[in-house]
Amino acid sequence: MINLVWLVPLLPLLGFLVNGLGRRYLSKSLAGIVGSGAILAAFVISLGMFLEVRTPGFQAVTVQLFDFISAGSLHIPFAFQVDQLSSLFLLIITGVGSLIHIYSTSYMHDETSEGFARYFAYLNLFVFSMLILVLGANYVMMFIGWEGVGLCSYLLIGFWYKNTNYNNAAKKAFVMNRIGDLGFLLGMFLMIVHFGSVNYSEVLPQIAGVAKGDGTLAAIAMLFFVGAMGKSAQVPLYTWLPDAMAGPTPVSALIHAATMVTAGIYMIARSNILYTLAPCVQNVVAIIGLVTAVLAASIALKQDDIKKVLAYSTVSQLGYMFLALGVGAYTTAVFHVMTHAFFKALLFLGSGSVIHAMGGEQDIRKMGGLKKYMPITNATFLIGCLAISGIPGLSGFFSKDEILSHTFAANKLLYVVGLLTALMTAFYMFRLYYITFCGQFRGTHEQEHHLHESPGAITFPLIVLAILSVIGGYVGLPAVFGAPNLLEHYLHPIFAASAEKVEPHELAHSTEWLLMGLSSVLVIITIFLARSWYRNFADNGEPRTGLAKVLENKWYVDEIYDAIIVKPLGMLSRFFEEAIERSGIDRLVNGVGRGVQWGSQQVRLLQSGQVGFYIFAMVIGMVLLFVIGFLVR
Amino acid sequence: MLTVLLILIPLVAGLLTFGLKGSGPKTVGLISSLASLAVTIAALFQFRTAPETLSHSCNWIPQLGATFSVGLDGMGMMLSLLTSISFVLIFIVINKREYDRANSFYALMLLSQAGLMGVFAAYDAMLFYFFWELALIPVYFLCSLWGGEKRIPVTFKFFVYTFAGSLLMLIGIIYIYLQTPEHSFSYASFTTAALPKETQSCLFWLFFVAFAIKMPIFPFHTWQPDTYEQSPTPVTMVLSGIMVKMGLFGVIRWLLPVLPQGAYVWSDVAIVLSIIGIVYASCIAIVQSDFKRLIAYSSIAHIGLMSAAIFANNEQSLQGVLVQFFNHGINIIGLWIIVEIIQDRLKVKSLNDLGGIAAYAPRMATFLVIISFANIALPLTNGFIGEFLMFSGLYQYNPWFMAVAGLGVILGAVYTLNMVQKVIFGQPNQLTETTTDLRGNEMLALSVIVAIILVLGVYPKPMLELVQSTTELVNKVY
Amino acid sequence: MPVQYYIFLSIALFCIGVMGVLMRRNAIIIFMCVELMLNAVNLLLVAFSKMWADAGRVDAAGAQIFVFFIMVVAAAEVAVGLAIIVMVYRNSQSVDVNIMNRLKN
């Protein structure tokens, strides 16, 4: 089965080609079947591989297809690596991905058949890129996927290309990603200079042999982390992700849950030994992660767009994952990637279902009381909210709690802030839930008339994801429950080298129970607070003031970036163009030309046509020559 | 013998075309370019089996010690492949266009092709100089006779720049010629001249300025956007796709081996100039509203990276440059083809007048997107391989240089996406609603380009192997 | 007689010729002055030839043959030049060189 690994990315690629080239000829249903079928087939193969990989004692397999780049001593094969980590990610990507594809067949049905096929082509390409990213056996392969998902996010965010705002959002996403990519590239080059290779199987063992705290390692780790900041939307490169809501809703689900933003987590998990040996960078990762988590959560408190709330919640959750990576809890971070994929996909698809029913309306102030119209969406959305808030027993609880307890062990201050973020998460999620699904309907009559539960292709993925959101956490039960932690056991070979290098800080079981109880109680209190405030929400239309206004405007980060980067860049460009290019160099060159022309004009006058003058000039010249001849001698 | 044929076919066809009327020039142009391509491919096979058979030498001006020595190494092979493919594509695209005095137009195009092939094949300094001028002069006429409204001042500027450069180079060539013990222009005696270090560092500038103007790199570049803007688009394709490579080629073939110490002394300066050019041109490209000028500045930025990588001069950077020779040529010609098509349909070239074309010409939009992303070196397109290796090589030379040059990656994304957005996305206006999609010949040319982009992007090995020998040679000399 | 005398005479003649060409406007006079310069050179050639022959260094005839050449050329020149002047006079009723700038435009 493992030898078939090349089929996993190939199938989405074929889906992309068929849908992309045949977009004029394929009917909608055919395009949908091709698109979803390719991913489903990839999922089946991934599942088969996973069953093989999970057997104890499995060694990572590298499948080399051909030589990609070989220049001098540098050899970069086009190769796939199948091991515990990539196999797990494959399952998440293709599994959640295929649910999103199925969902899209219904959600995008209003598009023209050409647009429909184009959409599925992009979606398949997206999954393909992400698969290349996680399957690659070296950092260049990872970079291929890394940039590939950037491209696809560009194409999908700007899917409705007639809207200039959407295009700008797409451009912003790509450019911000590119800033990160440059960091990644630099890190890669530093790696090539120092280790002479980018293959995991060659580089990672070499790194493991380097002393802890080595400057070069820190530099590589930091540069890679810059890449992760761009891709996984961390401070300061996070502003593209909320704007990326411009794309169709399933695309948001794909970007936020299954692909793209988890790339940064994957990369750090993959290079865990590098970060373990660079403790200072690890601290940076943890702090940036936490700052992102708090910042995004605070913004989410006051957003009125259903997708924006979810987008900031993603940014915040990603911050959590980086916090986990930063405190060295790699397994936990991957665990949270998985659970987050389930409940965030669920929430996004649920919001899509709501938007679909509302006829494209995204402002939650104009919704309300949807519970009775859309029972399935309501139930699944509620499960998603409960899971993300960390209600005991649901998947989010286990992963989030593990992150918090690891943070507590590492640093108490970080823990407090992390806990605060968790409470904010619970608050804004339930604010969203209550405003949207409870109370009175606040939209127009026409909208109310159209309200309906979504068709099966939409509710089916919701139900599957809801089930996964509930049970997904039981693969990674914390040690205090006494049950074996399946995930940790499974991922052990990947993080073994790191585990050797650090002292494990074990918490007493009683402490852990205490932390768990504390966060659960606080979260439940917060939820009731949100319930009492927003259960009967009525939009009074008053503009917000003070801190609320700042939060509504996202701390004015976009405006600040505009003022300190975009505008000065434009001014600099204009200065180059006008001052240096046109009046500087150009004038100089043209000046030389004009000077010659002017000089010739003047000299031309000597050519008077007067024979006498010519002879006179000749005689003068001869006399001068004689004189010079004498003087020189 | 094939090498001589490569020069002779366009030369003879060009001279022949002057006397033709009607559709004759078109036919001859297409046939000649296809024949050149066939010969190049034959030469490619011969290069694999018996590379020495591609060299050819006979007396030319024995009194001066100038010989007619031509030959193709990996780099020459690559560039002649680029030249012949490009000319085929150009002739295919303009097949439906009608030019005034078509016979002279096609004849001059073919003559410049002959000149280019000669430049890439010459192994004699005098011959090199001869072909260098032979390639430039037709372009000068093409631009000044068939160019846009402001063609006269623009060609004047072009003339001032290029001839100043040529003159400096001629002085340099003659100086080295006089220093060679046997008074010969041959490549071998030039490379073994072993001039003292001080002389080399002076001579460096004579050659460097000539090549820098041709590439062009900052601050010798201001002829380029104007010329690209004003020239008829087929000429722009020749200029930006192939002719800029003359400068880079000159550095690798002549400057580095002949003046290694001079290049060593000044390499930092050259790289800094190149890198300034990258950032500077990228910034200017962001605020351009003219389609052609935008691409022109993007080309300056790309060439800046190549030139920086050449002077970084290590295995990876050189190999990257050589691969990028080909790939940049293909990509930029692709972009120009789209410019040509849009100009042909809509008669405008300001980005502000365009928009929303994707709805009316979806095929063209797809091609534009693919070529644009290849132009900003997205992985799995041909642009990535070269840029990756060049950046890697530059990083080994000096990480800070590379970091600054890397800004070009970000800025490149900004201006390219700006361009794509303004041309094909957004709301269509009255004018762009009339856009019709690609015709058969345009479809053919663009498909070839996209096929090259993707195939070489995924499987670049043949290209890398082709230029391996040149890289090793240059590194050995250095 | 020392050769210096010839040299001085010849310089004097030559200068007269030069000044004549420069200052006079009458084409015929200019023409005569050109002849004067030529003959000044001839004189010098003959004088030097005699000087070297006396010193026994070279054959006396060598330089003097050169003088004959010059005289022949001068004669040919006179034939053509005078013809031109006559034609100019017929066309413009004048031999003033200052009006002969019609080639200019």
Listed range (A345-354, B179-188, B198-207) with the worst mean pLDDT: B179-188
Chain A residues near residue C25 by CB distance under 8 angstroms = 612
Identify residue A303 by its one-letter amino acid code.
Q
CB atoms A611 and C101 under 8 Å = yes
Q: Taking a contact as any Cβ pair under 8 Å apart, which residues of chain C between 14 and 53 contact chain A?
A: 18, 21-22, 25
Q: What is the pLDDT of residue C57?
A: 72
Q: What is the pLDDT of residue A570?
A: 85
Three-point CA angle B13, B18, B24, nearest 5°: 70
Could you give the residue ranges of the DSSP H alpha helices within B313-381?
315-346, 357-360, 362-375
Chain B residues near residue A569 by CB distance under 8 angstroms = 283, 286
The whole-number average pLDDT for the span B79-103 is: 89
Give the gap in angstroms from C-alpha A185 to the nearest C-alpha of chain B: 8
Q: Taking a contact as any Cβ pair under 8 Å apart, which residues of chain B between 275 and 304 contact chain A?
A: 280, 283-284, 286-288
Chain A residues near residue B406 by CB distance under 8 angstroms = 182, 185-186
Residues near A421 by Cβ (< 8 Å), separated by ≥ 6?
A: A290, A293, A294, A297, A316, A319, A320
CB atoms A586 and B156 under 8 Å = no
CB atoms C98 and A610 under 8 Å = yes
pTM: 0.87
pLDDT at A66 over 80: yes
Chain A residues near residue B388 by CB distance under 8 angstroms = 69, 140, 185
User: What CA–CA distances, in Å, run from A53 to A10, A50, B148, B194, B268?
Assistant: 20, 5, 65, 63, 52
Residues linked to residue B329 through DSSP beta bridges, in sequence order: none
Q: Tokens 């001080």: give the residue.
A: B198
Residues near A306 by Cβ (< 8 Å), separated by ≥ 6?
A: A351, A354, A355, A362, A363, A364, A367, A432, A436
Residue pair B448/B33 in contact (Cβ under 8 Å)? The answer is no
Of A4-8, A608-612, B40-44, the range with the highest mean pLDDT is B40-44
**Inter-chain contacts counted by CB atoms under 8 A, chains A and B:** 139
User: By the CB < 8 Å criterion, does B356 face chain A?
Assistant: yes
- Minimal-distance CA residue of chain A relative to B319: A71
Give the gap in angstroms from C-alpha B429 to the nearest C-alpha of chain A: 11
In CATH, the number for domain C3-96 is: 1.10.287.3510
CB atoms A158 and B425 under 8 Å = yes
Q: What is the pLDDT of residue C105?
A: 45
CB atoms A609 and C22 under 8 Å = no
CB atoms A615 and C104 under 8 Å = no
Q: What is the pLDDT of residue C104?
A: 47
Our answer on whether C and B touch (3+ beta-carbon pairs < 8 Å) is no
Listed range (A308-312, A499-503, A626-630) with the worst mean pLDDT: A499-503
Average of per-residue pLDDT values in chain A: 87
User: By the CB < 8 Å criterion, does B385 face chain A?
Assistant: yes
The length of chain B is: 478
Q: What is the pLDDT of residue B327?
A: 92
| C-alpha to C-alpha distance for B190 and B203, rounded to whole angstroms | 13
User: What CA–CA distances, in Å, run from B297 to A588, B59, B224, B300?
Assistant: 19, 42, 8, 5
| C-alpha to C-alpha distance for B130 and B185, rounded to whole angstroms | 12
* % of chain A residues with pLDDT over 90: 22
| Two tokens, residue B303 | 């060439």
pLDDT at A550 over 90: no
What ipTM was estimated for this complex?
A: 0.92
The whole-number average pLDDT for the span B381-391 is: 91
B118 confidence band (pLDDT: 50, 70, 90)? very high
Q: What is the pLDDT of residue A555?
A: 80
Which helix (H) or strand (E) covers residue B69, if one does? strand B66-70
Residues near A596 by Cβ (< 8 Å), separated by ≥ 6?
A: none
| C-alpha to C-alpha distance for A185 and B391, rounded to whole angstroms | 9
| C-alpha to C-alpha distance for A158 and A169, rounded to whole angstroms | 7
A631 vs B22, more confident: A631
Q: What is the pLDDT of residue B9?
A: 92
Q: Taking a contact as any Cβ pair under 8 Å apart, which residues of chain B between 64 and 123 contact chain A?
A: none
Chain A residues near residue B222 by CB distance under 8 angstroms = 581, 585-586, 589
- Minimal-distance CA residue of chain A relative to B316: A71
pLDDT at A316 over 50: yes
Chain C residues near residue A616 by CB distance under 8 angstroms = 22
Residue pair A221/A281 in contact (Cβ under 8 Å)? The answer is yes
Subunit partners of chain C (3 or more CB pairs within 8 A): A
| C-alpha to C-alpha distance for B209 and B269, rounded to whole angstroms | 12
User: By the CB < 8 Å criterion, does C103 face chain A?
Assistant: yes
**Inter-chain contacts counted by CB atoms under 8 A, chains A and C:** 20
Our answer on whether A and C touch (3+ beta-carbon pairs < 8 Å) is yes
CB atoms A611 and C22 under 8 Å = no
Q: Which of A604, A608, A610, A622 to mutate to test the interface with C (most CBs of C within 10 A)?
A: A610
CB atoms C22 and A615 under 8 Å = yes
Listed range (A42-56, A62-76, B30-44, B399-413) with the worst mean pLDDT: A62-76
Chain A residues near residue B427 by CB distance under 8 angstroms = 162, 164
Task: Name which of A608, A609, A612 is nearest C22 (Cβ-Cβ).
Answer: A612
pLDDT in tens, B209-265: 999 998 888 888 888 888 888 888 899 999 998 988 999 999 988 888 888 888 888
Q: What is the pLDDT of residue B454?
A: 92
pLDDT in tens, B295-311: 999 999 999 999 999 99
Q: Which of B382, B414, B453, B475 to mutate to test the interface with A (most CBs of A within 10 A)?
A: B414
Residues near B312 by Cβ (< 8 Å), separated by ≥ 6?
A: B267, B271, B393, B394, B396, B397, B398, B401
pLDDT in tens, A362-379: 888 888 778 888 888 889
Task: Name which of B153, B320, B421 is nearest A171 (Cβ-Cβ).
Answer: B421
Chain C residues near residue A612 by CB distance under 8 angstroms = 22, 25, 97-98
Q: What is the pLDDT of residue A329?
A: 86
| C-alpha to C-alpha distance for A346 and A385, rounded to whole angstroms | 9
Report which of A220, A268, A263, A224 is spatially closest to residue A241, judged by C-alpha positions. A263
- Minimal-distance CA residue of chain A relative to B322: A71
pLDDT at B35 over 90: yes
pLDDT at C101 over 70: no
User: By the CB < 8 Å criterion, does C101 face chain A?
Assistant: yes
Q: What is the pLDDT of residue A44?
A: 93
* Angle (deg, nearest 10), helices A215-231 and A164-195: 160
A441 vs A117, more confident: A117
Task: Name which of A72, A175, A572 is nearest B316 (Cβ-Cβ).
Answer: A72
Task: Name which of C21, C25, C104 is nearest A609 (Cβ-Cβ).
Answer: C104
pLDDT at C60 over 70: no
Give the gap in angstroms from C-alpha A127 to the nearest C-alpha of chain B: 15
pLDDT in tens, A232-255: 888 888 888 888 888 888 888 888
- Minimal-distance CA residue of chain B relative to A172: B414
| C-alpha to C-alpha distance for A172 and C79, rounded to whole angstroms | 90
